[in-house]
Amino acid sequence: MTLGLTPYLFMDGNAKEAINFYEQALGARVQFVQSFGEMPENPDFPLPEAAKDRVSHALLKIGESDLMLSDSFPGHSPQVGNQVTICIQSSDKERSHTIFEALQQGGRVQMPLQETFFSPAYGTVTDKFGVTFHIFTEDAQP
């Protein structure tokens, strides 16, 4: 039996922008994207015109990991907070720096990327969408 855990981000109408951003910043590969307008219609739950172009579900592959995201319905904005953060692990210090620099564009640094007692390069950054990432570089053992 296999058990997995996948972060799922709810965006407020900017999921397409986030997908493009994560493609650039993290090298994400889009596996699937569907808009609310592409879903089968349900007469019991009519789709507002403003929701048709929003992303109903997307799956991105980042390295060996999955990231899912979707937009909320107009008027049902998700709450921005720190209940969920994402830790990106790397064995390459240079790659960690590249990712950290990309994610901080339009965002804010919580803890600068730096050497710590547990990592040669660790830092925390909240991107321009309000998603907080921990960048953790594995310490190469001799």
Domain ranges of the chain: 1-74, 79-142
Please determine, for residue 142, whether its predicted confidence score (pLDDT) is greater than 60. Answer: no
The architecture that CATH gives domain 79-142 is 2-Layer Sandwich (3.30)
pTM as predicted: 0.81
Tens-place pLDDT, residues 5-18: 789 998 999 999 99
> For the domain bounded by 1-74, which CATH number is listed?
3.30.720.100
Between CA 127 and CA 134 the distance in angstroms is 11
- The yes-or-no answer to whether 1-74 and 79-142 have a common fold is yes
Calculate mean pLDDT across residues 61-69.
95
